Structure 1
Amino acid sequence: MNLTPEQLAQFDKDGYLFFPGLFSPEETKALNAAVPELYSRREAYNVREKDSDAVRTNFAAHMYSEPFAKLARHPRMIKPVEDLFGEKLYMHQFKINGKMAFEGDVWQWHQDYGTWLNDDLMPTERAMNVAIFLDDVNPFNGPLMFIPGSHKKGVVNAKHDLTTTSYPLWTVDNDLIRQLVGRAGDKDGGIVSPTGPAGSMILFHSCLVHASSSNLSPWNRNSVYLSVCAVSNHIRRHKRPEYIAHRDFTPIECLPDDCLLKPYPVDLPWAKGMPSSALQTSIEPLKETA
């Protein structure tokens, strides 16, 4: 899947592109069928909500789950970003966010690149989020909220919030959010929230300011997020565990477009368990090699 000149211009203006129903019901069913077993595991890569046992985020499923290993190599998710960067990509982060019915907590206003810069020493914002809805997303089950055009500000001031939820985040303060929303149109389009059927896809800039509210509805809102990075822009520090911020900078090679519905061999390096090395961290920058 390649982007048109019109889509490239829209992305430059708004910082995101939305593709409703891009993946078929059969494709999303194959992915959804694997989620309950993944969430049931008592592993470090399953981060649970602060006040419940519901999974907030499952990390690195592409390393041990065949359906998600294939999704991580899907051309509909990878090729558009290659178009934008003009370069091969590696997987910086892979997660399934489980905004579960009645229990899914908020994600505060933030930029993803703010975390990748502060924690991982990623040199520039040449990284991208690609999200796919595993459930129908409506206005009531905690959809993503974007401030259109906020990526144009580059990296904005943020503070490290360690207490609001179970997952630490570099968050943007309310005064700056008011300013950004006002510049984007205030009540007339200053915040947008793409909703649509399971299988819809969003591509959004790593500096786009976004958030999501809690899910008080009776409907789950599971979504997969591929955070892909230009190979030349790989991270320079391993402050976070490998299951959160990956250290293999090998370029992604796409599978055929029908890979979610047909058998294709994929490597599952953590199929027999996550190695202890994936938990090791360091605050020291990586040494540059010639």
Structure 2
Amino acid sequence: MKKNWELKSLTQEQVQEFYNKGFLIIKGVFKAEEMKSVQSSFENLYDLAKGLDGNTQEIEGSHFVFEKGGLNRIVWCGGKEKYLLDFSKDERILNPVSDILNTGVLNQIINQAHFKMPGERIEFKWHQDSEHRRYGTEMWKDVDGRGSYVQTVVAVDEMNENNGPLVFIPHSNQEGHLDLQNNKELLQKIEKMEKVSLNLQPGDLALFGPYTIHSSSVNLSDSPRRVLINGYAYPGANSRLYPGVGLGRELAVS
């Protein structure tokens, strides 16, 4: 850790756990009453999406992405639902992220609403987020040498083994960027690796790095499984333009 940075909310042991396992879970970050406003924003977005006839498009800075299985995600969801942008700069999210990245300035590039509704066939195969950050191209630079990025997931609904939970391969981050989509041999080996399937309640927070291998399967339950995803880069890491936010928005951690 840099000597001039004092931990805001995490312990040194929690920071070490993040970099050792590749992820960190913090229970009960937001109360049920607080999550009602998030759930309301998600319902507004989903109601709007139902009128788009499955056509991917941008509305007021929010990019609605559909796949054959249904509504995949809404990129920069706070463009349309401003509350979700305000929520994404809550100190209960920013403080642990800044502790992990060891910086008081963050570049937010991701603000996404993910929906897994009953009957829809939305799933995410094994991958690393470093692929989406464009690791290995001029659009991304690992400034701090440890990934320079933290993805956060706030559970909007309960997440369990029946509704397509987020699944991590612990310690997979230790191998750095693996170019998984061009590594069929490794993808086959993943099925035999140790896995951690998340069980979260609304308001729980998961944080993970860009090299952590993860996936999520189809929601087989009769209830929604929704999450709010926010991603923060170390200053100077990102050069990619994202829908709604361009190169990102700078957030100072007080």
Mark yes or no: TM-score above 0.5: yes
Aligned with residue 41 of structure 2, among 34, 52, 58: 34
The equivalent residue for 1:123 is: 141
| SS of residue in 1 equivalent to 2:196 | coil
Q: Is the 8 A contact 1:73 1:254 kept in 2?
A: no
The equivalent residue for 2:186 is: 176
The equivalent residue for 1:164 is: none
Q: Does 1:6 align with 2:13?
A: yes
The equivalent residue for 2:95 is: 79
Unaligned runs of 5+ in 2: 1-7
> Which is richer in strand?
2
The equivalent residue for 1:264 is: none
Shift of 1:120: 7.3
The equivalent residue for 1:148 is: 170
Aligned with residue 136 of structure 1, among 131, 155, 158: 158
Shift of 1:10: 1.2
Shift of 1:36: 1.9
Q: Does 1:114 align with 2:166?
A: no
Q: Does 1:205 align with 2:206?
A: no
Of 97-106 and 194-203, deviating more is 97-106
Shift of 1:12: 1.8
Unaligned runs of 5+ in 1: 160-170, 256-290
Q: 2: distance between equivalents of 1:249 and 1:105?
A: 27
The equivalent residue for 1:21 is: 28
Equivalent residues, number: 230
1:133-171 alpha-carbon deviations (Å, 9 max, x no partner):
000111100000100000111000233xxxxxxxxxxx7
Aligned with residue 61 of structure 1, among 77, 80, 85: 77
Over 4 Å off, 4+ runs: none
Q: 2: distance between equivalents of 1:26 and 1:70?
A: 16
Shift of 1:254: 5.6
Question: What amino acid does structure 2 have at the position aligned with 1:123?
Answer: K
The equivalent residue for 1:47 is: 65
RMSD: 2.1
| Cα distance change of structure 1 residues 234 and 157 upon mapping to structure 2, 3 Å threshold | closer
Q: Is the 8 A contact 1:89 1:251 kept in 2?
A: yes
Shift of 1:90: 1.2
Q: Is the 8 A contact 1:131 1:202 kept in 2?
A: yes
Q: Is the 8 A contact 1:73 1:253 kept in 2?
A: no
Q: 1: distance between equivalents of 2:180 and 2:187?
A: 11
Q: Is the 8 A contact 2:157 2:226 kept in 1?
A: yes
Q: Does 1:222 align with 2:238?
A: no
Report % sequence identity.
23
Q: 2: distance between equivalents of 1:216 and 1:249?
A: 35
1:25-62 alpha-carbon deviations (Å, 9 max, x no partner):
011111101112212144431112314xx422011122
The equivalent residue for 2:243 is: 242
Q: 2: distance between equivalents of 1:219 and 1:29?
A: 16
Question: What amino acid does structure 1 have at the position aligned with 2:113?
Answer: I
Q: Is the 8 A contact 2:141 2:236 kept in 1?
A: no
Q: Is the 8 A contact 1:231 1:250 kept in 2?
A: no
